Structure 1
Amino acid sequence: MKILIVGSGGREHALAWKLAQSPKVDDIFVAPGNGGTAGIAENVPIPDSHVPALARFAKERGVDLCVVGPEVPLVLGLANAMAKQDIPCFGPDAYAAQLEGSKSFAKLVMEHTGVPTARSATFDDYDSAKAYLDKHPIPVVIKADGLAAGKGVTVAATREEAEKALDTCMRKQSFGMAGERVVIEEALEGEEASFLALCDGKTVVPLASSQDHKAVGEGDTGPNTGGMGAYSPAPILPESELEKVCDLVARPVVEAMAASGHPFIGMLYAGLMVKDGAYKVLEYNVRFGDPECQPLLARLDSDLAELMLACVEGRLEPSMIAWKPQTSCCVVMASQGYPGSYRTGMAIEGIDEAEELEGVTVFQAGTKIEAGRLVTSGGRVLGVTALGDDLKAAKERAYEAVDRIRFENSYVRRDIGDKGLAR
């Protein structure tokens, strides 16, 4: 079969790497791809937001399955466009993708289905939002309603921070249309975990647990990023709890989408806040997390192509998923300055040396081939992923691999996995 993967990050490199291992897969295209996907697939110079062009390419090249990495093309209706071409898509339609594309939509669905989440209110005008905020206790969370490239959420520890975040969204319109509506919600206490589940429209099967590290600095300090590293499994969300959490935060939502006439097909991701054994949903994503995808696929002991086909064909079963017993740890090597401004075009060396270590795979994110050299092209550059017999071994091996890789102005957090080790 021929597969089109849409996206250009480390998640998409990991998807291509895992799908290429399937005997069912003959050809893989990645649009637009990166320096890593170029080595195992055919990169296609179509931006992931160009929905008509992606659908046209898939039809012309006889693609059998479209696998969507990032959220933007799903919110823009890529699954709908593929359906018009009779091409199955691993990813929800535009209506169901609002679970990620609109914070207020997700809140309404959670309220309707009884999914536990933070108390909140939604506003379309600044004055009403400001009046509500003035009476709200601090800390408080301000969220741009729409997609803001991971930058639309502020956890405000002071009233000044909260007012600035509201002003940034609604008055300065720093996030464009995404910030025209805001959600103001209580700040939840606890520790975050990532819950991901495969969905075929009716059946929901949880994946192994994982934990991301969003803040740029060690000890979870500094601004939020797309993710500086992740590991799986996560002790905060043990295997014995996965079915309970699935019943609590995933199955009710999938049932609601089916009842609305928009069955959810693909990956449903719930960002959880965990405290004293209780779970509340911070947000939903409608695709694999990045970097959670990397350590999860490193541990997956099943045929990913078969799993995705089962989802799009409505025949998913829990028995289809198997996991390697080891722990995996992914450490993101970023460009100094990320998530703010940073330089690009730095030559990358040492990946082959890193992958000589047993159980190590280096997934490329912000890279490209330029004049025959692999160079940096983004903020998050590499996801150095290692398997180990336990979290301590996986972490040590990942950082040993990191230390074999060189590019100018590189930056890593050195504490990925420490939360799990503390447990």
Structure 2
Amino acid sequence: MISHIIPCPPTGNGHRIVLAGTDLIFESIDNIFVYPLLDIDRLKQAISRALSIWPILAGRVLINEDQYLIEFSDLPIPFTYIENDQLEYWPNLPVVVDDMTICKPFIDVVQYKPMDESLLRIKVTRLLRSNEYVLGTSFSHLVGDAASNIHFLNDLSRFYQGLEPILPRPIFDRYLWTKDDADVSLLSNLKPYQNADKREIIATNFIRDQTTTDQLNISFSSIQLEKLHSLTDGKDEVTVHDVLNAYMIVTMNKNSIEISNEYFQRAYILVNYRNLLHSIALTGHVANSFVIMLTSDFPNPFSLISIAKTIRQAINKCRNEDFLMKWIPTADLMMKQIIKDDKLICVWDTNEVVINSNFKYDWSNQVDFGMINQCRFHTITSLKSYFRIFHLNPIKDQEDHWIKDNDGAEVSFRIQKGEMKNKFLETYQQDIETNFINVE
């Protein structure tokens, strides 16, 4: 059953914003949340209130010559409610689920259709046999990135509980760059934008990788992450997150060098720059406020500390205001050209990995609708040599109580089938069993 929810009160008033080049991501952010209970009427009311302070989501995309805009048109968003008597209960799944056949029935995916398509779709499925509720959300990437998405969903969660949203309120206007703002001397350094390719070529490569690789979901407890971090002796202010990524890379390198005499030499990192340039992106900024940073070559690609330090150095470089003021408008200029050429930037070399982490955001906690440690979160899509990092979901203990390791992590990625996958898993299991005694 499909209904429509309007913002109450309407606040868009036909306001329009022009999207920056870096906002032009014509995909959706699709997530699933599973709860033991949901009051559907209360949820609809919460959505209506949330749309009132998020009028961008009640808007539509417009195109004016070579500009993409969003008009805050106060239009309704589609809400679907169905009941499922086939599934016995929600299965024990990893955070990142790569099999679309599992998730597809539970998400009403936003499509890119200027003037017609909603920028947000919500679907609720009640599992009659277990009385669980599956909330599927689809959020247009043109509106913003993961930080924007979880900001909205946290506001929705709080409205559902009868609470006011946590400050800051969302900020929608975008800073628009001109060609004069770009630094042409940086063009040769923006490798991910230079490596853009035609959509059909990327689609072909994606299908090939799906057939030659398997998805892995590797979990680390908070205690294991603390142990890994201790191996660095706090050198150069590397974080737990830096060391986790370094561990994944060094483990893959030590195994791949034996199999193919190849190894990863550097990493792309997606870095959020909110609150670093106050005039451009405050904490509540709703946009795609991130840069894609390529690290320098790892001085020692088989050393945990060496890789962790290199990752930290790249992130610190991104947080320099002078650097960002040159880098962002140059990336913006290149992104506009990429879109004009009908290309995508989902391209990296075989000796490079990508780190796209959500470890900063605890989705199951921040969108729990008041059901502490009882919300399970899932998202979709894994790519080859592309690390996606999330907090662990809650689990049930032996007494059937929900518990959660709040500082644990899951890393999801795709890896070459056969010997490479098997050797990686073998090394990981040995490291867990020996408490990382052989990690250097």
The TM-score bracket by the shorter chain reads under 0.3
User: Normalising by structure 1, what TM-score?
Assistant: 0.27
User: Normalising by structure 2, what TM-score?
Assistant: 0.26
Question: Which of the pair has more CA radius of gyration?
Answer: 2
